[in-house]
């Protein structure tokens, strides 16, 4: 459930008409709903009730500081995958003790910055990283709290570009080597082992792969404890999928996911961490765009909108589906009109949808791409010298621009002409 709905014939985010925002901010823009972010976070809180836990929002899905602060105020921790995200979380007011640091390529510089700034734990993904972290922490007179991210060799049955738990993926330490690497970790002076981490992929639409992975984590917890390690925290990653279409998709509910966690791991007495991104932010956001032209092609009509693949790359990168709805509610029984929905970027890949049944639309009409709150703005680029589009946060009847559209001058003046030119 989300808080984007038609009211008085126009699409609203909570109590605000998206067309009012468009009039003030211009198009295209991203718009997020506080109520939806809050509701989705609460679903996970409810799902894990009774277990000691921390929900660490995967900032990679949406890292605007206003979003971060909204979630942090509800008690969220953050999962970061770069020192940039770490600094953003800190800037938004999240204390280090609530930040977990994931990622396969942390540098020594990243490690030092996070150690000095305060960190809940590093999710370590390789032996070289482990040794470097020990050295950096020791040099600072500290011990780095760590989990090892294990690769359980489980098929997440999702898009190949976002599956991370198979042995051929670059992520984690093979589960077959886990005990040996934990033994090495325990002997390193700058390391304090606190638990185990696993993350098998994103947009999972079934619970079975989670179950398979978490069962392996349970077995490993017992084995590692027998080896003398104090395994007190289990980070179970993110990945729960969301419905991208209104009609036929029904991915598992957070409540069922929570029940699965309790069933597979609840008896171990560990603190549970999860790292959901998409389920919290995905359906809490839309991308609003305006029709520039309707162009008749050979046997098809192109709807050329002012958003493009640089603003929302998921359709061209993953073949992802985003529902597209007009801001003006179509009349009941309005005749469908099929369009290829495309952006202005000079690539055929700049196609949002092919042969999409919409209603009749004309120049100047506004549309919203749904489910765009996760992996939307964060993956945007300035390709074709198109400015990053603004982000807006709605809260009841009010809204605020939480990142403005830069001017062309700001964008262009970042280039430096060397003195030999
Ligand atoms: N934790 C780790 C270690 C991750 O790598 C990810 C996502 C998450 C948590 C959050 O997963 P979520 O709950 O959002 O599924 N750009 C792609 C998705 C990439 C996901 C990367 N890792 C897309 O647009 O579908």
Per-residue pLDDT tens digits for 82-132: 999 999 999 999 999 999 999 999 999 999 999 999 999 999 999 999 999
Residues lower than pLDDT 50 in the chain: none
CATH class for the domain made up of 34-281: alpha beta
Give the pLDDT confidence score for residue 332 in this predicted structure: 92
Give the pLDDT confidence score for residue 248 in this predicted structure: 64
Pocket test for ligand 1, best of 81, 170, 238, 240 (most atoms within 8 A of CB): 238
- Where in the sequence numbering do the catalytic residues fall? 346
Give the pLDDT confidence score for residue 95 in this predicted structure: 98
Exposed e or buried b per residue across 189-210, where buried means at least 16 C-beta atoms within 10 angstroms of its C-beta:
ebbbbbbbbbbbbbbbbebebb
Give the N- to C-terminal CA distance of the chain in Å, as an integer. 56
- What are the domain boundaries of the chain? 4-31+282-412, 34-281
Pocket test for ligand 1, best of 79, 106, 151, 278 (most atoms within 8 A of CB): 278
Give the pLDDT confidence score for residue 212 in this predicted structure: 97
Give the contacts of 9 (CB within 8 A, at least 6 positions apart). 328, 329
Ligand 1 centroid to residue 374 C-alpha, Å:
9
Phi (first) and psi of residue 141, to 5 degrees: 75, 30
Give the pLDDT confidence score for residue 166 in this predicted structure: 84
**How many angstroms separate the CA atoms of 222 and 231, rounded?**
9
Name every protein residue with a CB atom under 6 angstroms from any ligand 1 atom. 58, 60-61, 79, 102, 162, 199, 202-203, 237-240, 275-279, 314, 318, 374-375
The closest residue, in CA terms, to atom 9 on ligand 1 is: 238
The closest residue, in CA terms, to atom 19 on ligand 1 is: 162
Contact assessment for residue 265 and residue 273, using Cβ atoms and an 8 Å cutoff: no
- Tell me which DSSP letter residue 328 carries: B
CATH class for the domain made up of 4-31+282-412: mainly beta
């Amino acid at each position: 459930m989300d808080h984007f709905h038609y009211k008085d014939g126009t699409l609203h985010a909570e109590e605000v008409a998206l067309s009012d925002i468009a009039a003030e901010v211009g198009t295209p823009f991203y718009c997020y709903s506080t109520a939806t972010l809050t509701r989705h976070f609460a679903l996970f809180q409810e799902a894990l009730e009774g277990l000691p836990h921390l929900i660490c929002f995967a900032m990679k899905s949406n890292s605007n500081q206003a979003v971060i602060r909204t979630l942090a105020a509800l008690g969220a921790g953050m999962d970061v995958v770069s020192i940039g995200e770490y600094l953003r979380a800190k800037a938004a007011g999240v204390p280090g003790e609530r930040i977990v640091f994931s990622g396969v390529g942390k540098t020594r510089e990243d490690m030092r910055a996070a150690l000095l700034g305060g960190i809940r734990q590093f999710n370590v993904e390789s032996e070289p990283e482990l040794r470097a972290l020990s050295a950096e922490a020791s040099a600072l007179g500290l011990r780095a709290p760590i989990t090892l991210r294990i690769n359980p060799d489980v098929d997440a049955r999702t898009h190949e570009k976002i599956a991370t738990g198979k042995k051929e993926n670059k992520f984690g330490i093979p589960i077959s080597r886990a005990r040996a690497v934990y033994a090495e970790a325990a002997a390193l002076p700058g390391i304090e082992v606190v638990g185990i981490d696993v993350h098998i992929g994103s947009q999972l639409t079934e619970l079975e792969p989670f179950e398979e992975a978490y069962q392996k984590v349970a077995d490993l917890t017992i084995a590692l404890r027998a080896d003398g390690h104090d395994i007190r925290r289990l980070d179970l990653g993110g990945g729960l999928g969301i419905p991208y279409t209104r009609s036929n998709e029904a991915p598992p509910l957070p409540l069922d996911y929570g029940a699965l966690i309790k069933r597979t791991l609840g008896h171990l007495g560990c603190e549970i961490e999860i790292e959901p991104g998409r389920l919290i932010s995905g359906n809490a956001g839309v991308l609003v765009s305006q029709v520039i032209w309707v162009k008749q092609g050979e046997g098809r009509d192109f709807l050329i909108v002012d958003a493009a693949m640089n603003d929302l790359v998921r359709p061209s990168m993953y073949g992802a589906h985003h529902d597209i709805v007009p801001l003006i509610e179509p009349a009941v029984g309005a005749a469908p009109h099929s369009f290829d929905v495309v952006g202005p970027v000079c690539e055929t890949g700049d196609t949002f949808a092919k042969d999409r049944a919409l209603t009749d639309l004309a120049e100047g009409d506004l549309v919203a791409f749904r489910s765009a709150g996760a992996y939307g703005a964060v993956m945007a680029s300035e390709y074709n010298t198109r400015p990053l589009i603004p982000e807006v946060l709605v809260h009841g009847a009010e809204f605020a621009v939480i990142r403005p559209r830069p001017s062309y001058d700001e964008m262009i003046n970042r280039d430096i002409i060397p003195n030999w030119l």
